[in-house]
């Protein structure tokens, strides 16, 4: 029987932000229960340490460089009104599951292009309700470079400059409506939270109870929402046939404490704290309860994994980088690692490669560190914080990982070395792009200007 699939993806939530991953201040009882009733994978990586590349990779099963999602006309992520986005020719996991007979829905942040050709309803989703990009890309000050923040229903702007404090409640209500409406057929629900991206607009209840300011309140809002969704599954009698996955698009900025736990680095960096994020998976009776696994998984593995669970085959015309991890997620121990090696790119720059327990940094770009070449080897099992460079002690490992790095350069390129890459596909493009909204001084916006001038 095909399982329902709910994917909860947070924005900038760190590897160590949950109670079950050791945060000293955050109380996350619903997510801790999700982990206890399912499995927690401690070495799960997204395809990028920033949001547009990460989300494009997770949706398509492809490394960002393969689909042209490593740079956006010179920017690290997509901005309002750009004429580039996720090429409609790319297959998403929503496309795959719709072919398998699923109802497919997305609620929340998209950030893969805001032109009509790039929106979720042109990428396999039956419905969409949410923000097309980051919540800091609205009007926050006089002279703002952005138009009013649009809230979309499918392809229509239904509100501009919405009250952000209300969105977690509106998103959660939308999710419960979808669960009730589709309880008698297989469905995909992709909930992409606004939290914990800056600015942190949170309800008074969560702010009053937080011991870590507005950031901790945003984490609590995510936990509350998860609890509501799990309760609705039980209420509708479909809990036992629903796979629930919880993760984040990239690591935390760590502006509000040790959000990435013992991992070094932050969002927008090639360190572990930039790309390794929480990953919880629960399917009662099918996924082992209470298991903690250090197997290496990636966001790109979700598409082929969902395909297997739904009994359908992804298209073969365009190569992908993800692998079917269904057996591992369901509790089988693979005879060999799913991935021989994985790359860590910062935009179009190859900065590091991991193979088994070893990670070799070959360059430094992004938020942490002075840009330029390096040669640093870390044993991630003995030294998850990447504190001790052991390159001189393991020259054979360094040589192997340098070969892996060269393989990735041949496939995806490396801008620092002026390498183009043989397996890259172009990003989607449209002529005459425009923003979804334009400021209208006669419009009675709920909030003509947001009062938190914070950018994520």
Read off the pLDDT of residues 252-283 as tens digits, 9 standing for 90 and up. 999 999 999 999 999 999 999 999 999 999 99
Report the pLDDT value the prediction gives residue 369, as an integer from 0 to 100. 63
Tens-digit pLDDT profile for residues 311-324: 999 888 899 999 99
Residues 342-427, CATH architecture: 2-Layer Sandwich (3.30)
Report the pLDDT value the prediction gives residue 371, as an integer from 0 to 100. 79
CB atoms under 10 Å from CB of 422, counted, come to 10
In three-state secondary structure terms, 37 is helix
Contact 59, 303 (CB under 8 A): yes
**Residue 26 appears among annotated catalytic residues:** no
Q: Among residues 51, 62, 65, 254, which one is catalytic?
A: 51
Report the pLDDT value the prediction gives residue 1, as an integer from 0 to 100. 86
Fold of 4-329: Alkaline Phosphatase, subunit A (3.40.720)
Tens-digit pLDDT profile for residues 336-355: 889 999 999 999 999 999 99
Contacts of 120 (CB under 8 A, 6+ apart): 94, 106, 110, 128
CA dihedral 44, 398, 51, 232 (to 10 degrees): 0
Task: Give the pLDDT band (50/70/90) at residue 165.
Answer: very high
Give the chain's mean pLDDT: 96
Report the predicted TM-score, pTM, of the whole model to 2 decimal places.
Answer: 0.97
Q: Supply the DSSP symbol for 66.
A: T
Contact 310, 97 (CB under 8 A): yes
Report the pLDDT value the prediction gives residue 336, as an integer from 0 to 100. 81
Cite the residue boundaries of each domain of the chain with CATH code 3.30.1120.10.
342-427
Q: Among residues 26, 111, 193, 361, which one is catalytic?
A: 111
Report the pLDDT value the prediction gives residue 64, as an integer from 0 to 100. 98
**Residue 51 appears among annotated catalytic residues:** yes
Separation of first and last alpha carbons in the chain: 41
Report the pLDDT value the prediction gives residue 410, as an integer from 0 to 100. 98
Tens-digit pLDDT profile for residues 415-442: 999 999 999 999 999 999 999 999 999 9
Residue 370 pLDDT > 80, yes or no? no
**Average pLDDT of the segment spanning 354-365:** 96
Tens-digit pLDDT profile for residues 170-219: 999 999 999 999 999 999 999 999 999 999 999 999 999 999 999 999 99
**Distance between CA 438 and CA 160 in Å, rounded?**
9
Q: Which two tokens stand for residue 334?
A: 């693979």
Q: Supply the DSSP symbol for 377.
A: E
**Average pLDDT of the segment spanning 23-42:** 98
Tens-digit pLDDT profile for residues 77-115: 999 999 999 999 999 999 999 999 999 999 999 999 999
Report the pLDDT value the prediction gives residue 368, as an integer from 0 to 100. 64
Residue 370 or residue 337, greater confidence: 337
Strand 372-379 and strand 358-364: pairing? Answer: antiparallel
Residue 366 pLDDT > 80, yes or no? no
Residue 151 pLDDT > 80, yes or no? yes
Residue 367 pLDDT > 90, yes or no? no
Cite the residue boundaries of each domain of the chain with CATH code 3.40.720.10.
4-329
């Amino acid at each position: 029987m095909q399982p329902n699939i709910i994917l909860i993806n947070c924005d900038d939530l760190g590897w160590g932000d949950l109670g079950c991953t050791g945060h000293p201040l955050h109380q996350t009882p619903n997510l801790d229960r999700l982990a206890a009733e399912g499995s927690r994978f401690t070495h799960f990586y997204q395809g990028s340490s920033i949001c547009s590349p990460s989300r494009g990779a997770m949706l398509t099963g492809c490394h960002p460089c393969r689909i042209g999602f490593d740079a956006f006309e010179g920017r690290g992520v997509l901005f309002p009104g750009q004429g580039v986005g996720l090429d409609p020719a790319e297959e998403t996991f929503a496309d795959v599951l719709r072919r398998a007979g699923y109802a497919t829905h997305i609620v929340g942040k998209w950030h893969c292009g805001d032109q009509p050709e790039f929106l979720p309803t042109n990428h396999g989703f039956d419905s969409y309700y949410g923000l097309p990009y980051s919540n800091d890309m609205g009007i926050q000050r006089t002279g703002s470079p952005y138009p009013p923040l649009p809230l979309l229903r499918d392809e229509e702007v239904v509100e501009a400059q919405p009250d952000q404090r209300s969105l977690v409640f509106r998103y959660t209500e939308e999710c419960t409506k979808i669960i009730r409406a589709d309880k008698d057929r297989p469905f995909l629900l992709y909930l992409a939270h606004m939290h914990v991206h800056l600015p942190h607009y949170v309800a008074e209840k969560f702010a009053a109870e937080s011991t870590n300011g507005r950031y901790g309140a945003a984490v609590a809002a995510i936990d509350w929402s998860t609890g509501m969704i799990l309760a609705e599954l039980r209420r509708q009698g479909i809990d036992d046939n629903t796979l629930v996955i919880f993760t984040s698009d990239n690591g935390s900025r760590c502006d509000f404490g040790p959000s990435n736990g013992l991992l070094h680095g932050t969002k927008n960096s090639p360190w572990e704290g930039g790309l390794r994020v929480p990953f919880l998976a629960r399917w009662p009776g099918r996924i082992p309860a209470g298991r903690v696994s250090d197997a290496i998984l990636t966001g790109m593995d979700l598409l082929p994994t969902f395909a297997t669970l739904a009994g359908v085959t992804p298209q073969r015309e365009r190569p992908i980088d993800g692998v079917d991890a269904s057996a591992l997620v369901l509790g089988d121990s693979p005879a060999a690692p799913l991935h021989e090696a994985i790359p860590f790119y910062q935009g179009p720059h190859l900065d590091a490669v991991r193979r088994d327990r070893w990670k070799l940094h070959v360059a430094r770009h992004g938020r942490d560190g002075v840009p330029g070449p390096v040669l640093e080897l870390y044993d991630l099992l003995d030294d998850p914080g990447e504190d001790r460079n052991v390159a001189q002690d393991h020259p054979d490992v360094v040589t192997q990982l340098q070969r892996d790095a060269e393989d990735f350069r041949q496939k995806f390129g490396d801008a620092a070395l002026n390498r183009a890459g043989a397996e890259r596909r172009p990003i989607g493009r449209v002529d005459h792009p425009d923003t979804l909204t334009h400021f209208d001084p006669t419009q009675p916006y709920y909030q003509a200007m947001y009062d938190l001038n914070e950018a994520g």
